[in-house]
Structure 1
Amino acid sequence: MFALLPWLALILDLLALSLAAGFATRSIAAVAALAGIAVQLAGACPQTEFLPQILDAVALALIGPGAFSGDARLFGRSTIHLPR
């Protein structure tokens, strides 16, 4: 199990950089949440350490990118029009 930890750290670092850049925010956040769950199931870290990151990633995946993210610059700002 410990042989996989450097690869897992590299994957989590790449996910964090992608989120910081605002690239494919919803997809990357969902993958980050799944990676956090995998770390929990592997027993690599205490539960109290990764649970907030998992919940943040799930919230970000549901909410989506902000107005100044890379996704907004590539695809334009999206707005939600509610019927009256």
Structure 2
Amino acid sequence: MKKHEAIEADVSSYRERVQVITELALELDSESYYDSKRISAQKDNILRLWSFLEETLNARRERLQLNVSLQKIFQEMVHMIDWMEEMQ
């Protein structure tokens, strides 16, 4: 879980850069930059990939949390089985 949190922190450090790129692309488009269509397409691609990355990270976090919960339940079951065997 700690590795995932480190990955999330690393990825979130790029969030500001993505926002700056978006703002710059919008500014160039509003100023009718000659290649604004290509820049807008690249901006859209970056935002699409960024969204996919965030969705993937969220899904991974959910899976890790589920695995941690299952591991705790399994440990409790093992403890109960050991206790029951001692009682017999």
TM-score by length of 1: 0.46
Task: State the structure with more CA Rg.
Answer: 2
TM-score by length of 2: 0.44
Which structure's residues are more often helix, by fraction? 2
